[in-house]
Every structure is written in structure tokens, then in C-alpha cells.
Amino acid sequence: QPLDRYAVFGNPIGHSKSPLIHGLFARQVNQPLSYTAETAPIDGFNHAAKTFFETGGKGCNVTLPFKEDAYHFATCLTERAQLAGAVNTLKLLENGEIIGDNTDGEGLVQDLLQYHVPLQGARILLIGAGGAARGVIKPLLDQQPSEITLTNRTLSKAQQLAEMFAPFGPIRAVDMSEIDRGFDVIINSTSASLSGELPAISVNIFTTTTYSYDMMYGLGQTTFNQWALDNKVTAAYDGLGMLVGQAAESFMLWRGLRPSTIPVLQELRKNLEGK
């Protein structure tokens, strides 16, 4: 019996950790499967995905720059994918439909909850209004925070998102230069840390009871989390757990059970540090 086939599509895809993560999940739950990293030409996602499913692929993850292509490729969408405007998980259903889901936001939420970061009733500051921010707002609102304050270098983008998600819970857009008070949970969804930069925001956002979360990850502390820790926050977490969390949610969609993320996160951290 051939193994069930899964894959991740991206460009570039060489450094993807998804094959390692799903390989560890498969071993953990004792469900042998095949999971490979596949590149597609920038304008060739549809063809690659079509071929994948026509030749027996069961499901795939989709990463940059194809998340919007995957959104259009899917023949039906989950509510969270619709709201995110992007798809990171596709699954072939028995009736031939291909469902598109977005598990990034739930991956973030589950990661935060795993660290016992209180979200219910929390005052959350979300910095950034790009694709990653859009994907996490609904899952965060589902945790019933007291409010989400959304801010972005380009304020108009934050305003658009706040308007879009207002029907789902308390969210408002505020100009970065006007923010001058502490928050319970601060999530940096900008790509500023990638280039060692910080968003131009007041240091008063940090208090000794603040939890900081940077969606970026890498060796050592991210620029943002180092800044948060220098300002005495309770704890700072990077986005590696979100990566493992979104993968666990995808695995759940495909295989019907959610693997434990903690041992996989530990393994991945070792892998990242080259140990």
C-alpha cells in the first residue's frame, strides 16, 4: 500500500521546516505518510497543485508567495480562510471538492495558550497589518479579549482590517505615534525584526506583566523580543511555536487527530540551533 502523500508548496521552499515537522507528527501518532517540499514557478501554482491532486496527493500546505493563489484554487473555504483572505492548507475531500483552510491564526492562539498566556479579557496590542495579522485577528477575537488594538506603520491598512473584523469583536485601529500605555499581550506581526528593525512605537507598551510575542523566529532572541525583555516584560516568545501550531492544525484537518506540539517544538529548536 503506497503512503498517503502530502506536501508543502512555496517558492523558495528549500529551507522549509514543514517536512521535518510533519515527519515528527507522523512518527508520534504512528501514521506513516509521505510529506515533501515542492517548489512551483511564481506564476505556476495552479498547475502544480492541480497535478499534485490529480496524481493522488491528499493534502498540502501552502506558503509564500502562494497563499492567495491557494485561496482561489480551493473549491470551498472555511470561514477562517475566507476572513484571512489566504489559504495555507488544502485538502481533497471525498466528494472531489478541495477545501481551503487557514490554520495560522489557530496555530498562534494554541501556542499562546500552551505558554499559559491569558487571552480571555486581555488587552491585546497587534502590531502590523499585513497578511499574517489578517490571519490571526478572528482566532484571537474568538478568545474573547477585552480588546484588540491594531496598529501599523501604514495606518490606513490597520483601519481597513479593524473595519473588516469589527463585527466579530472589539477591535480598533490606532496610530502608532498615539499609543502610550501598557498592554497585557503584545504581538508583533511586522517583518521589521527580519532586518533587525523595531516598529516606531513607545516603550510604554511594555509593563512587568506584559507577554510579548514575535511571529518571527530564528537563532537567539528576535530584535523585538530582546527590546521587550530589556523593558522587563514577563516573558517573550518567538514564532516557532506558531509554525508548529499551524502545522498541527493542518495535520488535524488531514488526519483527524491533533499531534502534541511540545516535543516537536523542542526538536525543532535543537535543529535550529544546529545541535
Residues labelled catalytic: 67
Q: Which is nearer to ligand NDP, 23 or 130 (CB)?
A: 130
Q: Which is nearer to ligand NDP, 152 or 261 (CB)?
A: 152
Q: Minimum distance from CB of 30 to ligand NDP (Å)?
A: 26
> CA-to-CA distance for 138 and 92, rounded, in angstroms?
25
> CA-to-CA distance for 137 and 157, rounded, in angstroms?
14
> CA-to-CA distance for 85 and 104, rounded, in angstroms?
12
Q: Which is nearer to ligand NDP, 183 or 237 (CB)?
A: 237
Contact 25/251 with Cβ under 8 angstroms? yes
SS3 category, 226 = helix
Q: Minimum distance from CB of 215 to ligand NDP (Å)?
A: 4
Peptide bond just before 259 cis, omega within 30 deg: no
Pairing of strands 76-77, 147-151: unpaired
Q: Minimum distance from CB of 225 to ligand NDP (Å)?
A: 13
Q: Which is nearer to ligand NDP, 165 or 217 (CB)?
A: 217
CA Rg value for the chain: 19
The C-alpha cell at 56 is 493522488
Q: Which is nearer to ligand NDP, 4 or 253 (CB)?
A: 253
CA neighbor of 192 nearest in space, from 148, 130, 142, 254: 130
Q: Which is nearer to ligand NDP, 31 or 78 (CB)?
A: 78
Burial 210-225 (b: 16+ CB within 10 A, else e): bbbbbbbbeeebbbbb
Q: Minimum distance from CB of 216 to ligand NDP (Å)?
A: 5
Beta strands in 54-135 (DSSP E): 59-62, 76-77, 89-92, 98-101, 123-127
CA neighbours closer than 13 Å in the CB half-sphere of residue 250? 33
* Chain residues that interact with ligand NDP, rule: CB under 6 A: 104, 128-133, 152-154, 157, 189-192, 194, 197, 199, 215-217, 239, 242-243, 246
Q: Minimum distance from CB of 170 to ligand NDP (Å)?
A: 21
SS3 category, 211 = strand
Q: Give the residue at shortest CB distance from ligand NDP.
A: 130
CA neighbours closer than 13 Å in the CB half-sphere of residue 229? 13
Q: Minimum distance from CB of 86 to ligand NDP (Å)?
A: 9
